[in-house]
Structure 1
Amino acid sequence: MTRNRGRESNPGSSAPPPSRLRAGDLAYVGSTGLRARPMRAVLSALGVAIGIAAMVAVVGISTSSRERLDSQLAELGTNLLTVTVAEPTGAVAPLPLPSDASARVERIAGVTGATATADLSDVHVYRNPLVDEGRTGGLTVTASELDLLSVVGAELRSGQWFNPATAALPTTVLGATAAERLGVREVGGLVWLDGRNTTVLGILEPVPLAAELDIAALVGMPVAAAEYDYAGNPTRVYERSEDDAVIAVRELLPPSVQPPEPADVVVSRPSDALTARAAVDEVFTGMLLALGSISLLVGGIGVANTMIISVLERRREIGLRRAIGATRRHIRLQFLTEAVLLSAMGGVAGAGLGAAVTAAIAAGSGWVPVIPAWIVVGGVLATIGIGAVAGLYPAVRAARTPPSVALSS
């Protein structure tokens, strides 16, 4: 009790409260060096900014050009697969595709659309009934489902496509080559199809993804079943899927279409353009990672160099602050804050400069400028992190300098 009363009667014997540095004061003190030497700060931040600008610009330009490349590759059918019956290899003929093959395909996860066509081998088309039956011109008559155009990416040159009503009537839509060989240039005329006059409903543009449609006179599935003895088994199924699901969908197509005999089903391999697309993505990714790493390393070295020089030049300031009560922690935080502010200045300026360069080059090349938000935000945050790491050693070195040595230097 006596000891406790002694302490109460002598308040001066208690330890002083720990010194604290408020956030506002820390920001002010940390920016003192930058404000005292603005030209050096600008030049140091510029070194960081150039590295970040280069990284942002390369990512933005690469992303913009890749977006253009992806749209061009998409036109080549990177996600279009075709399902057909395998060629006979023995005495047992392969099973035909089931009548609901396209519906089965559409149930696979990742598939965005599927449609079926059937070549009517015993049905031919001629310009008029006076043409010799042996002169077929290499043309085929093909029954089609209504959603063929959207799945294969075909377009009409003139006229219209089938609807539920016209698909059940004696009408036809001619492929580009078929219309040329038949001498048909306008819709609404007649051609001789399976011994009867048939109205030309439309004419297609060439279909790069399904060249067999160019030489076909297309008819609706209902009229094919009613008038041309179509048994209901399609010749081929066209399938579209999401780009990242092409490989997985390709593996599931045979067992989904023909569960008893998957080997009887042949699926076209993914387009070479899909392989090219994957290769381009891999090259871009590797290049960007390498460039980003080098840029951040160069920026970090610049910040570390600037901070070390700053510590050496400001030893008297450090000694004076220590002498009037600043702790080692205060000194560390001061120089660490200065390094972070310097890096942040360079990171923000570099991100803005890189975005401007990307927009200018994309506009000059006729691309749509694409600047991923992650590279802008990530570039600034990475720069701040690298600056903090780079400024850590100079900050610790400054904090360990004894006041007497700092003041006498």
Structure 2
Amino acid sequence: MKPKSASRISPKSRISPKARTKPVRLSPGDLLRLGLLGIRTRKMRAALSALGISIGIATMIVVVGIPASSQKALMAELSALGTNTLRAEPMPDQEPPVKLPEQAVGMTDRIGPVESSSAVANTHALVRRSDRTSENDTSGLTVLATRLNLLTTLRGSVQSGRFLDATTQKFPTAVLGHAAAARLGIPAVPPGAAPQVRINDTWFTVVGVLEAMPLSPEVERSVLVGWDAAKARLGFDGHPTVLYAQVREEALEDVRAVLAPTLNPQTPGLIQVSRPSDALLAKRATESTFSALFLGLAGVALLVGGIGVANTMVISVLERRKEIGLRRALGANRGQIRGQFLTESVALSALGGLAGTILGVAATLGYALYQGWPPVVPPAGVAGGIGGAVLVGVVAGVYPSVRAARLPPTEALAST
């Protein structure tokens, strides 16, 4: 006869030995707390390990942010100066020399999207500050015959005095470009005075000095004289050397395609058309090469930081063997041990990435404001920096976490 108590036990209520030894599943919060345990107890080592990653992330954000701020400032400056201006001129070193037609400005104005056009011509005349200086001392300046609407087309302005008009352009009067005025020693036109320069054998009265024109450096380095005065006194033949056209932005490429055939229908390939801002954009492309170099250095810093994190995690596994053995003896499985140390590695790298991101953003904003640029911090750079730090943590933590999980409990507990 079976005991009464034994007959009351249901088969469903019996717990198998396998079920009794099944480890409790850790929640993400518990796993995070375990991962942060090593960081909290070894703060100095954690800070030094994260330093390499912080430097790499900060460098990456600075390298991306500062050029972006500079480019935004440059684009704003170019837009204000006029990036919708086209420049047409004959190809150099052609035999016989190619010339633009005398009616080039009128021909260009008939193109629909062209808002205004103007021209200058190299008179090949020599300019000197005084008739006592050598004829070879021209200060590297050019004498350009100019149309009256040149400043309107190039969005230039007068710094001192006034520009040529319908009356003065017929007489020996001149306007100095910004650089030309500095070289000739006439930075401004004083009130009531009439400074003069000698062009070939004729004295020309300076009536104005221009502001700087970054998109037209050839005008900055020139002495501008009237179209009619150049014909009458300097032997100018009336053919423009360079034509400028201000075009509606949306039709810029279309006008660029038809401008050369308009000016020279027989051989349009001998006319080159460019935008004055292309040179500055090429400069930006050159600067991006240096940005790529610094991004490479940031990658090296990240690699070094990742190696530092991996080294720290390996040492942490060796130092915490008893802890690992005790947890295994209490029922933690290999997956939980792997998760603990992998979480610690990722958390260590993420903290370094966060610190580097804050440092990089602060450095970018500070430098941009110091330079007077609009501060730009690309979100992709910030997200990439933090994501890169987490990826480094994952890679750096794989081997230490696997090593910790493979450690036998008895060996870990017996270690001193």
State the TM-score, normalized to the length of structure 1.
0.62
Query: Quick check: 1:48 aligned with 2:48?
Result: no
Q: Give the whole-Å Cα distance in 2 for the aligned partners of 1:260 and 1:142.
A: 26
Residue 347 of structure 1 and its aligned partner are, at CA, apart by 1.4
| Correspondence list, 1:165-180, <5 A | 176-177=175-176
| Correspondence list, 1:24-173, <5 A | 24-57=29-62, 82-84=87-89, 89=95, 97=104, 99-101=106-108, 104=111, 115-117=117-119, 142-145=146-149, 148-149=150-151, 151-157=153-159
SS at match of 1:210: helix
What is the identity, as a one-letter code, of the residue corresponding to 1:149?
L
Q: Out of 27, 32, 43, which is 1:22 matched to?
A: 27
What is the identity, as a one-letter code, of the residue corresponding to 2:296?
A
- Equivalent pairs counted in the alignment come to 344
What is the identity, as a one-letter code, of the residue corresponding to 1:279?
T
Residue number in structure 1 paired with 2:402: 396
What is the identity, as a one-letter code, of the residue corresponding to 1:216?
V
What is the identity, as a one-letter code, of the residue corresponding to 2:288?
D
Q: Give the whole-Å Cα distance in 2 for the aligned partners of 1:322 and 1:401.
A: 9
Residue 408 of structure 1 and its aligned partner are, at CA, apart by 2.4
- Gaps of at least 5 residues in structure 1 are 1-7, 108-112, 122-137, 190-201, 220-232
Residue number in structure 1 paired with 2:198: none
Q: Does the CA contact (< 8 Å) of 1:83 and 1:236 recur in 2?
A: yes
Q: Does the CA contact (< 8 Å) of 1:78 and 1:274 recur in 2?
A: no
Residue 317 of structure 1 and its aligned partner are, at CA, apart by 1.6
Residues 398 and 48 of structure 1: is their aligned pair in 2 closer, same or farther, counting only changes over 3 Å? Answer: same
- Gaps of at least 5 residues in structure 2 are 1-9, 124-141, 195-206, 229-238
Residue number in structure 2 paired with 1:226: none
SS at match of 1:157: strand
Q: Note the aligned Cα RMSD (angstroms).
A: 5.3
Query: Quick check: 1:339 aligned with 2:345?
Result: yes
Q: Give the whole-Å Cα distance in 2 for the aligned partners of 1:205 and 1:92.
A: 30
Q: Does the CA contact (< 8 Å) of 1:101 and 1:116 recur in 2?
A: no
Q: Out of 325, 328, 343, which is 2:331 matched to?
A: 325
Q: Does the CA contact (< 8 Å) of 1:255 and 1:261 recur in 2?
A: yes
Residue 240 of structure 1 and its aligned partner are, at CA, apart by 7.0
Q: Give the whole-Å Cα distance in 2 for the aligned partners of 1:370 and 1:97.
A: 43
* % identical equivalent positions: 39
Q: Does the CA contact (< 8 Å) of 1:152 and 1:210 recur in 2?
A: no
Can you list the C-alpha shifts for 1:106-151, whole angstroms capped at 9, x where unaligned?
Answer: 57xxxxx8633377x9xxxxxxxxxxxxxxxx98764444xx4365
Can you list the C-alpha shifts for 1:349-403, whole angstroms capped at 9, x where unaligned?
Answer: 223234445566667x756485633444322221121111101111111122222
Residues 150 and 291 of structure 1: is their aligned pair in 2 closer, same or farther, counting only changes over 3 Å? Answer: farther
Q: Does the CA contact (< 8 Å) of 1:102 and 1:116 recur in 2?
A: no
Query: Quick check: 1:210 aligned with 2:240?
Result: no
State the TM-score, normalized to the length of structure 2.
0.62
Residue 75 of structure 1 and its aligned partner are, at CA, apart by 11
Q: Does the CA contact (< 8 Å) of 1:59 and 1:371 recur in 2?
A: no
Residues 118 and 273 of structure 1: is their aligned pair in 2 closer, same or farther, counting only changes over 3 Å? Answer: closer
What is the identity, as a one-letter code, of the residue corresponding to 2:269?
A
Q: Give the whole-Å Cα distance in 2 for the aligned partners of 1:391 and 1:320.
A: 21
Q: Does the CA contact (< 8 Å) of 2:23 and 2:333 recur in 1?
A: no
